């Protein structure tokens, strides 16, 4: 691939040790690569990496992996991480390969931010990063007790995702339909506050941001409320003005 608009990009990818061209080599051994036993957080579809760079700046006690299939954008994040000396490994590839790169239970937390909504539901639903096919992959690499944090501006995708998580046996907590305006939110992790590049654009336009945290059920002893409410898209939109937070205390 040639980088016509970024003449520096190929050299950056060739020389930046944070860029991992052969992620499968570290399967089951990522903590050795990071040279510590700290938790590993992975962002899927990181784009230009603004979020993961800020997260790594604020969370020095964690290791970060950023996955993005478009090399033209991931290179910007890899450069920023190198310049700031941050602990992030960048992987250019498709999320469908995650189980080839990471061993069972190797990841503590997954972030999915503003993934493509693929609006034609019947034709493209399988491409959504919250489709059950992807959730099954995330389950394999997530540690027991690990979680997935998801943000989007798209109510249709949010509704779809709630039901995919539910059908796939995940538990949902801290579900909010208007992250930055909700008044009764509990103390959330830094990722709720740190805005991605897309999020900043949507938030500036006054659009609500939807967010949830999902964790995999382990046996049937985990207490909590399963998110099995099925919303028709129109019903969900009608509900929005009144519902700022559906919190399932686990």
Ligand X SMILES: C[S@@+](CC[C@H](N)C(=O)[O-])C[C@H]1O[C@@H](n2cnc3c(N)ncnc32)[C@H](O)[C@@H]1O
The correct pick among 90, 101, 102, 114 for binding ligand X (CB under 6 A) is 114
If one asks whether residue 66 binds ligand X (CB under 6 A), the answer comes out as: no
51/170 with CB nearer ligand X = 51
89 DSSP β-pair partners: 65
Paired tokens of 45: 């579809």
Segment near ligand X (CB under 6 A); pick from 54-62, 163-171, 191-199, 219-227:
191-199
55 DSSP β-pair partners: none
If one asks whether residue 55 binds ligand X (CB under 6 A), the answer comes out as: no
If one asks whether residue 67 binds ligand X (CB under 6 A), the answer comes out as: yes
55/227 with CB nearer ligand X = 55
What is the DSSP secondary-structure string of the chain?
Answer: ---SS-TTHHHHHHH-TTB-S-GGGGTT-HHHHHTS---EEEEES-TT-HHHHHHHHH-TTSEEEEEES-HHHHHHHHHHHHHHT--EEEEES-GGGHHHHS-TT-EEEEEEES----S-HHHHGGGSTTSHHHHHHHHHHEEEEEEEEEEES-HHHHHHHHHHHHHTTEEEEEEESSTTT-SS-----HHHHS--HHHHHHHHTT---EEEEEEE--TT---S----PPPPHHHHHHHTTT-SEE----
If one asks whether residue 75 binds ligand X (CB under 6 A), the answer comes out as: no
If one asks whether residue 148 binds ligand X (CB under 6 A), the answer comes out as: no
The CB-of-237 to ligand X minimum distance in angstroms stands at 21
57/197 with CB nearer ligand X = 197
Catalytic residues: 116
If one asks whether residue 194 binds ligand X (CB under 6 A), the answer comes out as: no
Segment near ligand X (CB under 6 A); pick from 15-23, 42-50, 157-165, 242-250:
42-50
The correct pick among 118, 158, 198, 210 for binding ligand X (CB under 6 A) is 198
The correct pick among 25, 58, 70, 167 for binding ligand X (CB under 6 A) is 70
Segment near ligand X (CB under 6 A); pick from 1-9, 18-26, 43-51, 207-215:
43-51
Q: Would you tell me which residues interact with ligand X (CB under 6 A)?
A: 44-47, 67-70, 73, 94-95, 113-116, 129, 196-199
């Amino acid at each position: 691939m040639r980088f016509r608009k970024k003449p520096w990009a190929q050299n950056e990818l060739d020389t930046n040790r944070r860029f991992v061209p052969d992620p499968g080599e570290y399967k089951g051994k990522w903590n050795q690569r990071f040279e510590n036993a700290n938790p590993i957080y992975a962002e899927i579809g990181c784009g230009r990496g603004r979020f993961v760079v800020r997260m790594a700046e604020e969370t020095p006690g964690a290791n970060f992996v950023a996955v993005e299939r478009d090399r033209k954008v991931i290179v910007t994040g890899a450069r920023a991480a190198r310049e700031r000396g941050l602990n992030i490994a960048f992987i250019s590839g498709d999320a469908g390969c995650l189980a080839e790169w990471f061993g069972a239970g190797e990841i503590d937390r997954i972030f999915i931010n503003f993934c493509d909504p693929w609006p034609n539901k019947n034709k493209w639903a399988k491409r959504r990063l919250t489709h059950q096919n992807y959730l099954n992959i995330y389950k394999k690499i997530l540690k027991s007790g690990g979680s997935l944090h998801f943000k989007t501006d798209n109510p249709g995708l949010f509704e779809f995702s709630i039901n995919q998580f539910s059908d796939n046996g995940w538990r949902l907590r801290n579900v909010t339909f208007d992250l930055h305006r909700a008044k009764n939110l509990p103390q959330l992790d830094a990722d709720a506050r740190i805005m991605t590049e897309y999020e900043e654009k949507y938030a500036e336009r006054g659009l609500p941001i939807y967010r949830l945290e999902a964790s995999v059920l382990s046996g049937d002893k985990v207490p909590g409320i399963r998110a099995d409410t099925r919303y028709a898209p129109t019903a969900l939109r009608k509900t929005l003005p009144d519902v700022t937070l559906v919190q399932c205390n686990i």
